[in-house]
Structures are given as C-alpha cells and as structure tokens.
Structure 1
C-alpha cells in the first residue's frame, strides 16, 4: 500500500522533471506545443470513443470465431490511452502509446469449432439425393 502511495507522490515530480529536461534540450515552445497537441489528441480520442468499439466489432467479424482477449478490451484501452494523452506530460503520453500498441493475446473460443480442429479437417458421411418426380411435363423446369 505504501508503494502505491509513493508512486502516486512521485509521478507528478517525474512528469515535471521530464518536461523541464525536455524543455532544456528542445526549447520551451516546442515542449508546450507537444503537450498541447497530445492533450488535444486525448480529448479527441475521448470524444470519439465509439471508434474503439467499432474497431473491436470489425476485428471480431474479420476473425470469425477466434477472438483475442486483448481485442475485446480494446475500447477500454482506447479510452484509457485517451485519458493519458489528455493529462499533460511525457510519461503519460508514453504509457498511452504503449496501450495503443496491438498486442496479441490468447485466443478465446466463442462457441465455434473447437481449438483442436483445423480448417483442413474432413467430416465423413453419406448422402443421397432425392428428387421429386414431376407430375406432368408442364411443371418441369427446362
């Protein structure tokens, strides 16, 4: 519990230290524009959060029955990265970029074929074709 409290107290100090160091190397105006641009990007992402759900839905439809756990959590990751972009600072921007990376997770089976089956599996069986005889020649299609 103390470690979490210590991290919460150190986080703002680390953000300020990175901003000051970056401003020393690049200049204050460039850092200000960078922070402003990342905050605007975060606000835009939070306003367009429906895009994350739409991307998840299209991914699920493309993959068929096999769905990754990380792809199901995409809207949550998208919203959290938007919030981290909206917070001014370089470390929060780096965390937001890490959340947006497309990680592959374990596949979940959503009621489709079993994981052991492959598309090359053959199902053997017998069939017979039964045609109904036409009563007269006028009903038959040519």
Structure 2
C-alpha cells in the first residue's frame, strides 16, 4: 500500500519539484530540451530492447537452456526505456539505472533472490497448511464432488 502511495502521489510531486529546481538553475528551454531528449532516447531504447531480447532468448532456447536471464534483462531494459519516456529527471535517473549493465546485473540478482524467498515462503505455507497438528488426523485429500445425471438440449 505504501508503494502505491509513493508511486501515485509522491513520485509525481518529487518529479515536479525537481523539474522546477533544475529549470530555475539551467533555464526553462534547456530543461525542456533535456526532457525531450531523454524521451527520444527512451523511445529508441524501447524499440531496440524488445527484438534484441527476443533474439537472445531464442538463441538460448535453441541451445537447450532456459532464457530467464535474457527475459529479465529485456524486462529491465524495457522498464528503463519507459522511465526515460516519462517527463522528469528522477524517472530518468531510475531509467538509466535499469539500463546500465552493472546496475541491471545487481537488480537482476536482487529480483532473483526475492523470487526465491517468495517461492520458499509460499511452498512453506502450502506444506504447513496441509500438515497435521500433533494429536490430530492428517487432513484428507479433497476430491471434486461429481454429480452424475442426464441432460437433454431443447431448442424451441
């Protein structure tokens, strides 16, 4: 909930404050040119990231390997391009962080660890929900209830 509050309320306010501050320091025209240039770079990167990622993933699939690294790289590059498309300097900084290979590697590693923890916690929750407590019976496997019957279609 806090993340949504930040994204929808605080992030645009921070972007606006930063644009005003930069505009007052370097001038309105220069600020507008920087915003437009970053949007053009973001659009260009979005056009390139998709096909390039698809080709790398296809090459990994043909070699018999899972392309999870390429897919995550493509996702981060697309996110970086999208953030560059947004007007503002804070989103541009976050977009560049998603595009740089070093920081993209760190983000990919962190997302992988988070996904592993999530998978372990959901697996642990599944096992603990189905486990019998001491002194209780083991829960029965639930089967779908089947009701047999006959039906007839009548078109009037």
TM-score (ref. length: structure 1): 0.59
Match of 2:87 in 1: 88
Match of 1:50 in 2: 51
CA deviation vs aligned residue, 1:43-102 (integer Å, no higher than 9, x gap): 1122222123345667x6xxx999996544111111111111111110111111111122
CA distance in 2, matches of 1:56, 1:79: 15
Give structure 1 stretches of 5+ with no counterpart: 107-142
Match of 1:40 in 2: 40
Residues 70, 21 of structure 1: alpha-carbon distance in 2 compared, 3 angstrom cutoff = farther
- Which of 26-35 and 96-105 deviates more? 96-105
CA deviation vs aligned residue, 1:13-44 (integer Å, no higher than 9, x gap): 10000001011111111110110001111111
Count of residues in Structure 1 that have an aligned counterpart in Structure 2: 102
Match of 2:153 in 1: none
- Equivalences for residues 12-91 of structure 1 within 5 A: 12-48=12-48, 49-54=50-55, 70-91=69-90
Match of 2:96 in 1: 97
Contact 1:53–1:74 (8 Å) recurs in 2? no
- Identify the structure with the greater helix proportion: 2
Give structure 2 stretches of 5+ with no counterpart: 111-156
TM-score (ref. length: structure 2): 0.54
Higher normalized contact order (CA 8 Å, seq sep 6+, divided by chain length): 1
Contact 2:19–2:31 (8 Å) recurs in 1? yes
- Which SS does the other structure have where 1:88 is aligned? coil
CA distance in 1, matches of 2:41, 2:9: 26
- Identify the structure with the greater strand proportion: 1
Question: Computing the radius of gyration over CA atoms, which structure comes out larger, 1 or 2?
Answer: 1
- Which of 69-78 and 79-88 deviates more? 69-78
